[in-house]
Amino acid sequence: MTNPISDIDNEVELMFLIGTNPTEAHPIIGYKMRQAARRGAKLVVCDPRHIDLVDEADYWLRLKPGTDIPLLNGLMHIIIKEGLEDKKFIEERTENYEELKAIVETYTPDRVSELTGISVDDLYAVARLYATTDKAMIFYTLGITEHICGTRNVMSCANLAMLTGHLGRPGAGVCPQRGQNNVQGACDMGALPNVYAGYQAVGVDAVREKHEKAWGVSLPSKVGLKIPEMFAAAHEGKVKAMYILGENPVLTDPDANHIRGALEKLEFLVVHELFLSETAAYADVILPAASFAECDGTFTNTERRVQRVRKAIEPIPGQANWQTICQMFNVMGYPVSYNSPKEIWDEMASLTPSMAGINYERIEKENSLQWPCPSLDHPGTPVLHVGKFTRGLGLFQPSEHIPPGEMPDDEYPFLLSTGRILQHYNVTTPYSKGISSIWDKEMSELNPVDAEKLGVVTGDQVKVTSRRGEAITQIKVTDRVLPGVIWMSFHYTATPTNALTSHHLDPITGTGEYKVCAVKLEKV
Amino acid sequence: MVDLVKLIINGKEVEAPVGSTILQAAEMAGVEIPRLCYDKDLSPLGACRLCVVEVKGNRLLPAACVTPVYQGMEVDTDSPAVVEARKTILELLIANHPLDCLTCEKAGACKLQDYCYRYGVKESPFAGEKHDYAIDDSNPFIVRDLNKCILCGACVRACEELTGADNLSYLNRGFHRKATTAGDVDYIDSDCVFCGQCVAVCPTGALTEKSMVGQGRRWDIERVRTTCPFCGTGCNFDLAVKDGKVIGVLSNPDAPVNQRSLCVKGRFGWDFIYNENRLTTPLIKKNGQFEPASWDEAFSLIAERFKEIKEKYGPDSFAALSSARCTNEENFLVSKFSRAVMGTNNVDHCART
Ligand code: SF4
Ligand code: SF4
Ligand code: SF4
Ligand code: SF4
Ligand code: FES
C-alpha cells in the first residue's frame, strides 16, 4: 500500500474498490471502510459479486468478470475528454502520457458499457467523482492480480491514480492489500528469484559483491525460477530437489494436478510444515514447524509496517523454525551462529538500505515502523511516493483489453470465480476446531436462475468439472453472484477448488488466473 | 490551533481543548473518573451515570462523559456527594446482579467488581427480582450471560461502530430491557460475524471468551503481545498464556493498526496451534511410509541428498519455496540458504496473496 491503513479512518474522501472484498479477506480494513462510508466518505465498488460493502456503496459497478482494464480505460477516457486530468501532476511527475491518451481514446463510454455491462451513466458519474474528489484511494487485491492480465490490471489502476494526481498524499494513493500475513515481508526479505532483501537485484554487481563479502561465498548472478517455472522445471527433470517451508501449493496453487506431478518427479523433497499437508505427503523428509505463537520474529503488513511476533509458548516440535533452518546451514557445511532472530534481522538490515534504520529495540519502543526507514533517526515512511516516485517519473503503462484465457463455451458453460471467505485463511484455519465446527465445508455460490435449471437448492451437492479436474461441492443459492457464474473458495481439502482452476498464468508475475475459468456443473 | 479553555479540577487549574468533556479534561490532567459505559473508542452514551461529578453552581451532578467543559468551570470529581451518588448507582446495578465473583470468568478484570471494591459496596439495599436468562453458549467462541449485563451498551456500540455488523440492539423496557440480537436469538442464529468486539469492550462477565472458561483467573494470565498470523492487515493482540499454554486472545488497545478490533480468525482461530494433527517430530519416508525420526537423522539425510544432488546436477537443480506465512527472519534465512549454501537464486514464495 502506498498509504497507511489509518488514512481510511482519518483522511479518505473516496474509496474506489476494484477486485477486493475487504470485509472477508482483510476484515479490519473492511470494517474501517464501512465506518468511513457511514461517516460520509464516498464508496465505489467494482465487483461482479454482491460483496458486503456493496450495501454501503454510492456506486456498485457490477462489471463482467475479466473486464477490469476496459472499465479503467473507460473511466480515463471520460476524465481526459472532460479535461478533468491533473495536468500539473502529469507534466511534472509522469511520462508516457501520450501513449496512454492514444490507447484510452478508443475506450468510448459506449464501447466500455458494451464490454463491461456497466451503464454509460454510471461510467460518467464515477469518472467525474473520482477525478474531482481530492482525497481518493484505490484499493485492489486478488480480484485484480489473479488474472492472465494481472500485471496489466495493476498498471491500469496506477494509470488512473496518476492521471488524476491521486498519489503521494495522505488520503490519496493506490493500495493493493497483501493477502497473507507476511507476503509483504517474504518479498521484502528477498524470498524472490531476482532480488535480495529490499529489492536489490541479484544481477547488479555491487549488490552481489556486498552480499558475497558479507556471506563469504560467491553468489550466482542469474535470476532464478519463479514458482510455476520451478514446477515446470521439475516436470522437465531440471529441478531435482526442493525445500518447501510452510506452504501447501497442492491446495492453494492453480492446476493442482500439474503440481502433484511435479512433486512426484523430484528426487528429494523436504517439507517444513505444521501439518501433514497435501504437499507434505510428497516429501522424503518432513520437518515439523513451530507456529507463530512459538517463535520470535517480525511480520510486515500490507502497509509496510514491521511488527514483532513474540514467542508465547515453547515450540511444540522442540525447536523454532529459525533454529531448524540454521541447522540446515550447519549440516551443509556453512556454519551459522545466530543466537536469536534479532541477530538475523540485524544482519539483514546491515545489508538492506531501506531497512537499515529498523531494529528490535526501536520496534519495542515505537510499537512498529514502516519502511523505507534508511537510518536510525528516520521516523519510517507511512506514505510512499511523496513528491517523487521511486523510479523518478511515474510511467504510464497503458494496456488494451485482454480477455480471460478461458471463457465459458458449450461444453463448459459456467464461469468459475474463486475467492476467500471471512472465516478461513488459506491452510491453517481449517485446523481451528472452533472455526471448522461452524464453517466446515465449501458452500459454493450459485444464482437462483441456474439453481433452478439444475434442480438444486442450498445444501445440495454438485460436481464441478473443468478441463483440468473435478471437485464436489455444496451449493448455496444466492443472487450475490450473476447467472452463469459459480463462486468458490479454496479452503477445504474435501473440495479442491484449485484442481479446477486455469493453467493460464500472468506472463509477467507467474500468478495463476484463479479468478476466471470455464466449468460445467452436474447435480450429484 | 485548537482553542483551549481553563478550568479547575479538584482545586487544580488545568487546560483542555474546547469541546472536551469533563471526563476527557480530567484524564488529560491525570485524574481518573470512574466510568462503566464510557469507552474512548465508542460514541458517548451517558447511560450508567457512574461518572457523575460535582460542578460548582450546578445543583445536579452531571455525567462527566457527556458534559462539555467551559471556561472557568470548577469540578470536584471526588466530593462526598459524588461518592454517595456512585455508591447508590453501584447498589442499584448489583440489585439484580448474580454476585457470582467467586466463579465468574471476569473476576479480576471486571469493572463492576473493581468499582464495588473501591466504594465498598457489597450488597444492595435495593435487592429484588433477579433475571433468569438462559446462558447462550450456542457458538464455539463467546459465552453470553446476560444476567451479568449492566446495560452499558458498549457491545451494541462496538458491534455497530467498530465492525458495522449491526447485530445488537436494545429490546424491551424497564426491568426486562436487554442488549441482544434482533429477535433475541442466540448468537449462532443471528447475523453475528464473531469478531468478538462486543467481548473486548464488555466491562463485566456478561460476554466472555469461551476458550478461557475454567482455564485460569485473570490475574494469573500472562499476556504476550504479538501480530496476527492470518492476513496482511497486521492486527496486533495479546496471547493469553497460563502455565505455558495459550488459552485465548485478548485485545490490546495499543495495537497500531486495529486497536481492540479483530476478526473471527485473529480472535478465535489461534487454536489451530493445538490441533492434534500437529507434527511433533521429523518424519522420513521409508518404502512409501512416513516414519518418525530424530532431528539428527533428518538433518544428515538432508545434508547427504542435497549435497549429492547439487554435486551431480549443479546448483540450479535445487529450488526453495519460502512462506508468506512465516517471519521475516525465516524468509531471510531461506533466501540466504538458497543463495549462499545451495548457490542458486531459485527461491520464491507462494505469492497467492
Ligand atoms: S460480572 Fe463482575 S461483578 Fe458480576 S459476578 Fe462477574 S466479576 Fe463479579
Ligand atoms: S453485555 Fe456487556 S457490554 Fe453489553 S450492555 Fe451488557 S454489560 Fe454492557
Ligand atoms: S461478535 Fe461482533 S458481530 Fe457478533 S455481536 Fe459481537 S460485535 Fe457484533
Ligand atoms: S485479526 Fe483478522 S483482519 Fe486482523 S490481521 Fe488477523 S485475520 Fe487480518
Ligand atoms: S461513564 Fe458516564 S454515564 Fe456511564
**Average of per-residue pLDDT across A354-360:** 92
- For residues B304 and B268, state if they share a domain: no
Looking at the complex, report in whole angstroms how far the Cα of residue B69 sits from the nearest Cα belonging to chain A: 25
Q: Which of B41, B138, B161, B168 to mutate to test the pocket of ligand 3 (most atoms within 8 A of CB)?
A: B168
Q: Does A3 touch chain B (CB under 8 A)?
A: no
**A446 sits in which H/E element:** strand A443-446
Ligand 4 atom 6, closest CA:
B266
**Average of per-residue pLDDT across A250-263:** 82
DSSP state of A366: H
**Average of per-residue pLDDT across A296-306:** 93
Chain A's closest residue to B211, CA to CA, is A434
pLDDT tens digits, A420-458: 665 555 556 667 787 777 777 788 898 999 899 989 888
Read off φ and ψ for residue B306, nearest 5 degrees.
Answer: -60, -45
Q: What per-residue confidence (pLDDT) applies to A433?
A: 80
Q: What per-residue confidence (pLDDT) applies to A443?
A: 83
Listing DSSP states for A28-72 in one string gives HHHHHHHHHHHHT-EEEEE-SS--GGGGG-SEEE-PPTT-HHHHH
Whether B69 shows a pLDDT value over 80: the answer reads: yes
Specify the CATH number for A414-523; select among 3.90.230.10, 2.40.10.220, 2.40.40.20, 3.30.1360.200. Answer: 2.40.40.20
User: Dihedral angle at the C-alpha atoms of A254, A258, A260, A266, nearest 10 degrees?
Assistant: -120
**Average of per-residue pLDDT across B241-251:** 96
**Average of per-residue pLDDT across B90-105:** 92
Between the CA of A133 and the centroid of ligand 4 the distance, in Å, is 30
| Averaged pLDDT score across all residues of chain A | 87
Interatomic CA distance for residues B48 and A523, integer angstroms: 57
Q: Do A293 and B226 touch (CB under 8 A)?
A: yes
Q: Percent of chain B at pLDDT above 90?
A: 89
Q: A60 - beta bridge partners?
A: A45
Any atom of ligand 2 within 6 Å of the Cβ of B192? no
pLDDT tens digits, A305-350: 999 999 999 999 999 999 999 999 999 999 999 999 999 999 999 9
Ligand 2 atom 3, closest CA:
B202
Whether B205 shows a pLDDT value over 90: the answer reads: yes
Ligand sitting nearest the alpha carbon of A303? 4
Q: Do B230 and A288 touch (CB under 8 A)?
A: no
Q: In which domain, by residue range, is B301 found?
A: 283-352
Q: Cβ contacts (< 8 Å) between A223 and chain B: which residues?
A: 345
Closest to A458 measured CA to CA, from A474, A473, A434: A474
Q: What angle do CA A502, A507, A512 make, to 5 degrees?
A: 30
Any atom of ligand 3 within 6 Å of the Cβ of B185? no
Least confident stretch, A321-330, A467-476, B325-334: A467-476
Whether B288 shows a pLDDT value over 80: the answer reads: yes
How many residues does this entry show for chain A?
524
**A371 sits in which H/E element:** none
Identify the CATH number of the domain defined by range A183-370: 3.40.50.740
Q: Does B298 touch chain A (CB under 8 A)?
A: yes
pTM of the entire structure? 0.90
Listing DSSP states for B45-93 in one string gives ---S-TTB-EETT-SS--BTTTPBP-TT-EEESS-HHHHHHHHHHHHHH
Q: What per-residue confidence (pLDDT) applies to A149?
A: 52
Q: What per-residue confidence (pLDDT) applies to A461?
A: 87
Q: Do A434 and B319 touch (CB under 8 A)?
A: no
Interatomic CA distance for residues A232 and A209, integer angstroms: 31
Q: Which residue has the cell 533428518?
A: B298
**Average of per-residue pLDDT across A355-366:** 92
Q: Does A339 touch chain B (CB under 8 A)?
A: no
Whether A144 shows a pLDDT value over 90: the answer reads: no
A464 neighbors A454 (Cβ within 8 angstroms): no
SS3 A354: helix
Q: A45 - beta bridge partners?
A: A17, A60
Q: A298 - beta bridge partners?
A: A308
Q: Do A302 and B232 touch (CB under 8 A)?
A: yes
Read off φ and ψ for residue A484, nearest 5 degrees.
Answer: 85, 0
Between the CA of B251 and the centroid of ligand 1 the distance, in Å, is 20
SS3 A79: helix
pLDDT tens digits, A363-385: 999 888 898 898 899 888 877 76
Q: Percent of chain A at pLDDT above 70?
A: 89
Closest to A179 measured CA to CA, from A308, A18, A20, A25: A25
Domain count, chain B: 3
Q: Which of B162, B198, B309, B323 to mutate to test the interface with A (most CBs of A within 10 A)?
A: B323
Q: Does A289 touch chain B (CB under 8 A)?
A: yes
**CB atoms inside a 10 Å sphere around CB A353:** 15
B261 neighbors A417 (Cβ within 8 angstroms): no
Domain boundary among B257, B274, B291: B274
Closest to B315 measured CA to CA, from B341, B281, B276: B341
Q: Do A224 and B345 touch (CB under 8 A)?
A: yes
Q: Cβ contacts (< 8 Å) between A188 and chain B: which residues?
A: 328
Any atom of ligand 5 within 6 Å of the Cβ of B69? no
**CB atoms inside a 10 Å sphere around CB A522:** 13
Q: Sign of torsion, CA B1 B7 B12 B16?
A: negative
| Averaged pLDDT score across all residues of chain B | 93
Closest to B181 measured CA to CA, from B207, B162, B208: B207
Q: Does B294 touch chain A (CB under 8 A)?
A: no
The domain that contains B51 carries what CATH number? 3.10.20.740
Whether B76 shows a pLDDT value over 70: the answer reads: yes
pLDDT tens digits, B106-145: 999 999 999 999 999 988 888 778 889 999 998 999 999 9
The domain that contains B234 carries what CATH number? 3.30.70.20
A329 neighbors A336 (Cβ within 8 angstroms): yes
Closest to A291 measured CA to CA, from B247, B325, B245: B325
Any atom of ligand 5 within 6 Å of the Cβ of B93? no
Better-predicted residue by pLDDT, B264 or A151: B264
Whether A524 shows a pLDDT value over 50: the answer reads: yes
Least confident stretch, A449-458, A465-474, B151-160: A465-474
What residue type is B302 in one-letter code?
I
- What are the strands, taking DSSP E only, across chain B? 4-9, 12-17, 54-55, 74-76, 142-144, 168-171, 178-181, 207-209, 222-227, 236-242, 245-250, 283-286, 289-292, 318-322, 347-349
- For residues B143 and B265, state if they share a domain: yes
Residues 6 or more apart whose CB falls under 8 angstroms from that of B32 comprise B26
- H-type helices in A220-335, by residue range? 227-235, 249-252, 256-265, 321-331
Q: What per-residue confidence (pLDDT) applies to B1?
A: 61
* CB-count burial class (<10 Å; 0-12, 13-18, 19+) for A175: buried
Half-sphere exposure of A105 (CA within 13 A, CB side): 7
Q: What per-residue confidence (pLDDT) applies to A388?
A: 63
Q: What per-residue confidence (pLDDT) applies to A508?
A: 53
Q: Of the candidates A38, A183, A288, which has its C-beta nearest B164's C-beta?
A: A38
Interatomic CA distance for residues B142 and B208, integer angstroms: 6
pLDDT band of residue B192 (cuts 50, 70, 90) is: very high
Half-sphere exposure of A521 (CA within 13 A, CB side): 28
Looking at the complex, report in whole angstroms how far the Cα of residue A351 sits from the nearest Cα belonging to chain B: 11
Residue B290 has which C-alpha cell? 512416513
**Average of per-residue pLDDT across A284-292:** 96
Q: What per-residue confidence (pLDDT) applies to A424?
A: 58
- For residues B146 and B233, state if they share a domain: yes
In angstroms, the Cα distances linking B150 to A126, B61, B92, B202 are: 47, 21, 10, 9
- For residues B121 and B139, state if they share a domain: no
**Average of per-residue pLDDT across B283-300:** 94
Residue A386 has which C-alpha cell? 511523496
Q: B285 - beta bridge partners?
A: B290
Least confident stretch, A79-93, A250-264, A279-293, B309-323: A250-264
Listing DSSP states for A477-498 in one string gives E-TTS-TTEEEEE---TTS-GG
Ligand sitting nearest the alpha carbon of B104? 1
Residue A232 has which C-alpha cell? 515446470
Q: Cβ contacts (< 8 Å) between B321 and chain A: which residues?
A: 227, 230, 242-245, 247, 249
Any atom of ligand 2 within 6 Å of the Cβ of B179? yes
Interatomic CA distance for residues A402 and A423, integer angstroms: 33
Better-predicted residue by pLDDT, A312 or B353: A312
Interatomic CA distance for residues A203 and A49, integer angstroms: 43
Interatomic CA distance for residues B103 and B110, integer angstroms: 13
- For residues B307 and B215, state if they share a domain: no
Domain boundary among B126, B142, B176: B126
Q: What per-residue confidence (pLDDT) applies to A511?
A: 52
Interatomic CA distance for residues A512 and A501, integer angstroms: 8
Angle between helices A68-81 and A109-116 (to 10 degrees): 160
Residues 6 or more apart whose CB falls under 8 angstroms from that of A438 comprise A423, B139, B140, B188
Any atom of ligand 1 within 6 Å of the Cβ of B205? yes
Q: What per-residue confidence (pLDDT) applies to A390?
A: 62
Least confident stretch, A172-176, B165-169, B184-188, B215-219: A172-176
Chain B's closest residue to A231, CA to CA, is B319
Q: Which of B39, B137, B155, B163 to mutate to test the pocket of ligand 3 (most atoms within 8 A of CB)?
A: B163
- For residues B75 and B163, state if they share a domain: no
Atom of ligand 5 lying closest to residue B46 CA: 3
Residues within 8 A of A (CB atoms), B 233-292 only = 233-236, 239, 241, 244-246, 254, 256-258, 261-265, 268-273, 275, 277-285, 290
Better-predicted residue by pLDDT, B111 or A519: B111
Does the ipTM surpass 0.95?
no
A228 neighbors A256 (Cβ within 8 angstroms): no
- For residues B32 and B143, state if they share a domain: no
SS3 B280: coil
Range with the largest mean pLDDT of A180-184, B99-103, B240-244: B240-244
In angstroms, the Cα distances linking A227 to A230, A393, B164 are: 5, 31, 39
Q: What per-residue confidence (pLDDT) applies to A379?
A: 84
**Average of per-residue pLDDT across A292-308:** 94
Q: What per-residue confidence (pLDDT) applies to A488?
A: 83
Domain boundary among B239, B274, B309: B274
- For residues B258 and B311, state if they share a domain: no
DSSP state of A137: E
Q: Which pairing describes strands A42-46 and A59-61: parallel, antiparallel, or unpaired?
A: parallel
**A460 sits in which H/E element:** none
Chains A and B form CB pairs within 8 A to the count of 451
Q: Do B332 and A190 touch (CB under 8 A)?
A: yes
Q: What per-residue confidence (pLDDT) applies to B17?
A: 95
Q: What per-residue confidence (pLDDT) applies to A146?
A: 56
Residue B198 has which C-alpha cell? 462486543
DSSP state of B33: P
Q: Of the candidates A194, A285, A299, which has its C-beta nearest B301's C-beta?
A: A285
Q: What per-residue confidence (pLDDT) applies to A428?
A: 66
Between the CA of B45 and the centroid of ligand 1 the distance, in Å, is 22
Q: Sign of torsion, CA B264 B267 B272 B275?
A: negative
Closest to A165 measured CA to CA, from A108, A109, A101, A91: A91
pLDDT tens digits, A64-113: 888 888 999 999 999 999 999 999 999 888 888 899 899 999 999 999 99
- For residues B214 and B269, state if they share a domain: yes
DSSP state of A190: T
pLDDT tens digits, A488-517: 877 666 666 766 766 555 555 555 555 668
Angle between helices A205-215 and A341-351 (to 10 degrees): 150
What residue type is B295 in one-letter code?
W
Residue B176 has which C-alpha cell? 426486562
Between the CA of A383 and the centroid of ligand 4 the distance, in Å, is 22
Assign 3-state DSSP to chain A and report helix, strand, coil percentages, each to 5.
Answer: 35, 20, 45
A521 neighbors A414 (Cβ within 8 angstroms): yes
- For residues B186 and B94, state if they share a domain: no
B227 neighbors B235 (Cβ within 8 angstroms): yes
- For residues B341 and B241, state if they share a domain: no
Q: Do B349 and A225 touch (CB under 8 A)?
A: no
Q: What per-residue confidence (pLDDT) applies to A441?
A: 75
Longest dimension (CA), chain B: 93
Q: What per-residue confidence (pLDDT) applies to A503?
A: 58
Q: What per-residue confidence (pLDDT) applies to B353?
A: 41
* CB-count burial class (<10 Å; 0-12, 13-18, 19+) for A101: middle
Q: What per-residue confidence (pLDDT) applies to A29?
A: 94
Between the CA of B145 and the centroid of ligand 2 the distance, in Å, is 10
**Average of per-residue pLDDT across B286-290:** 92
Better-predicted residue by pLDDT, A181 or A284: A284
What residue type is B100 in one-letter code?
D
DSSP state of B188: G
pLDDT band of residue A248 (cuts 50, 70, 90) is: confident
Q: Sign of torsion, CA A130 B258 B171 B66?
A: negative
Q: Cβ contacts (< 8 Å) between A286 and chain B: which residues?
A: 279, 282-284, 290
Atom of ligand 3 lying closest to residue B166 CA: 8
**Average of per-residue pLDDT across B164-176:** 92
Looking at the complex, report in whole angstroms how far the Cα of residue A166 sits from the nearest Cα belonging to chain B: 22
- For residues B152 and B54, state if they share a domain: no
Q: Where are the domains of chain A?
A: 6-177, 183-370, 414-523
Chain B's closest residue to A25, CA to CA, is B231
Closest to A300 measured CA to CA, from B331, B253, B251, B270: B331
Q: Regarding the domain delimited by A6-177, which CATH topology (the fold level of the hierarchy) does it fall under?
A: Dimethylsulfoxide Reductase; domain 2 (3.40.228)
